[in-house]
Amino acid sequence: MVMEGGDIIKASNSLRGSLRAGSLRAGSSSIWRNSAVDVFSRSSRDEDDEEALKWAALEKLPTVARLRKGILTGSQGGANEVDVDNLGWQEKRTLLERLVKVAEEDNERFLLKLKNRIDRVGIDLPTIEVRYENLNIEAEAFVGTSALPSVLNFITSIFENFLIDMGVLSSRKKKLTILKDVSGIVKPGRMTLLLGPPSSGKTTLLLALAGKLSPDLKFSGSVTYNGHTMKEFVPQRTAAYISQHDLHLGEITVRETLAFSARCQGVGTRYDMLAELSRREKEANIKPDPDIDVFMKAVATEGQEASVITDYILKILGLDVCADTMVGNEMLRGISGGQRKRVTTGEMLVGPARALFMDEISTGLDSSTTFQIVNSLRQTVHILNGTAVISLLQPAPETYDLFDDIILLSDGVIVYQGPREHVVSFFESMGFRCPERKGVADFLQEVTSKKDQMQYWVRKDQPYRFITANEFAEAFQSFHVGMKLGDELGTPFDKTKSHPASLTTQKYGVGKWELLKACIAREFLLMKRNSFVYIFKCMQLTVMALITMTLFFRTEMHKDSVQGGRIYMGALFFGMTMVMFNGMSELSMTISKLPVFYKQRDLLFFPSWAYALPSWILKIPITFLEVSIWVFITYYVIGFDPNAER
């Protein structure tokens, strides 16, 4: 049976409803169940009496309550029952120290423990296979002075577009081809490196695969996830696109940036998977590792202001040393450029997306840090069967060796896509050899360049001629890797093998109220960090009110003449103008936050109203304070009516 988009929604909703209502039965159907698993073995882990008694009491709790409790060994020893919703800072630190003390050494061991717990009860993790076929992407743009963003060009383009629609004029825009008939497969459980010289179309390909292409581009071809088209699910939440541009609010810390992202993206299907996992372990009388159990329960609980997953990603990316440092911007000193790049990466890694499309994540990083980050991603992809396409510019040889597959782009066409082991032999078959002391990644970037290609030519008995990217692409179709890829593309993906939890069908990660609370908390935090602005505004208003008070002093005014009435009206108008325009100083702050708002809105962190409402609601008390300052200082001194009802 082929599962369409509606079936995915029904499966996801019915699963979540049944699990959270606590009506889990041994015979009920579940997307996490595997009928092939019949026999389970008892855990061989030694148990002390106290911990065993607490665990037995925990097992007797209802499902929902059991998923919110865990057994955590304290730093002084001794097992204690904890509520995973309210883990303290010290408890989180102790937990992570035991699980991943040194990221480079312990992360793989930790992930293997997670996978072992899931595998021994027969649960299949969701996987995503991304296919793109016959992709053609074109852009239309003005060239020369017509492309300048001037007022004259803006007005001219309005009339020009009107005449073009009427058929009177032809468009002066020039067509630019970005990608030309590219096809391929990105498989789960394999690390894919996207290479290519600048302006080869790498960013456009990643945007197309992540479903984030600009509507201004002309797009043809198809991109499918597990055989499903983009309209059958929400690609922005199923996949995570990590931009090469670092856009963050400078006034909040690294930890707060990642925590807000995790709070908005939610936990995905982690809660549903954990509920089924807990049910199966209870049936088979399997006792999990207490630390792994607490960690999985903590990362599956949504609505937390500070999640364990945030601290874990901070540790993996090497950001724990600057976790409580301001991100900073052009006007505020903060973290370094390399750390900011890692914050951009971590902002999406804290979410539940299982497909990662990363664009130039190594810019500003040294080779050692890049290797550590890519190695951590490799461990996650290999062990948890994730999907990852990472674009890097001139990676070091040791980083290059971490990848399984290579996609080489040049001039908008795919020159090679397949296993890393065969890429050098493909170019040798074309007459180009990588020197022994040359990095393969640098060789691949240069071998399609007209300026650098000749130095790699090894067929001395034949005269050299420049081989274009199109010729390489045609030759790849007859290479054994290209032929195998063509055969795989010719066989449609079997939708029945797609895990119903692989693709996300809900537009936002959490409910509307949770999104509003998260945005209110962040806006209030920003107001506290920018408190000097509001204090200065009140002081400025106080000074102006004192000056106004002396200017319109009541002893100089008379209420029985038209001239006096005009002065009163002037005082009223001036007061209203001062209070109204006192907020102009916040305009620059609002504009500076817009790029971050656009990025997070497009990533479906929150709807526009959830961002706009808090900034309006939280400013109301400040507005009342400013009006009160003005009225209390000027009202009676100017000589307005002292009666309360006035």
Can you read off the two tokens belonging to residue 223? 């991109």
Task: Over range 204-216, report the average pLDDT.
Answer: 90
Give the per-residue pLDDT at 31: 52
Residue with tokens 């060994």: 73
Q: Which helix (H) or strand (E) segment is 242 a member of? A: strand 239-242
Q: What is the mean pLDDT of residues 440-459?
A: 88
Look at residue 42 in the predicted model and tell me its pLDDT: 41
pLDDT at residue 16 tops 70: no
pLDDT of residue 35: 38
Q: Calculate mean pLDDT across residues 613-620.
A: 91
Average pLDDT value for residue range 38-49: 44
Q: What pLDDT score does 644 carry? A: 67
Distance CA 260, CA 603 (A): 13
- pLDDT tens-digit readout, 495-524: 888 888 888 888 898 889 999 999 999 999
**To the nearest whole percent, how much of the chain has pLDDT over 90?**
24
pLDDT reported for residue 77: 60
Residue 36 clears pLDDT 50, i.e. is over it: no
pTM: 0.82
Average pLDDT over residues 256-275: 88
Residue 604 has pLDDT above 70, yes or no: yes
pLDDT of residue 509: 86
Calculate mean pLDDT across residues 136-140: 88
CA distances from 642 to 228, 559, 574, 630, 639 (A): 72, 13, 20, 15, 8
**Domains annotated on the chain, with CATH:** 191-251+330-497 (3.40.50.300), 522-638 (no CATH)
Q: Between helices 608-617 and 587-602, what is the axis angle to 10°? A: 150
Q: How would residue 587 be classed by pLDDT, with cut points 50, 70 and 90? A: confident
pLDDT at res. 43? 42
Residue 123's SS3 state is coil
Classify the C-alpha dihedral 632-637-643-646 as positive or negative. Answer: negative
Residue ranges with strand state E in 370-476: 387-391, 405-410, 413-419
d(CA 296, CA 288): 11
- Tell me if 66 sits within 8 A of 285, measured CB to CB: no
Mean predicted confidence (pLDDT) in 161-190: 86
Lookup result for tokens 């995570």: 240
Q: At residue 146, what are phi and psi to the nearest 5 degrees?
A: -65, -20
- DSSP category for residue 76: T
What pLDDT was estimated at residue 646? Answer: 65
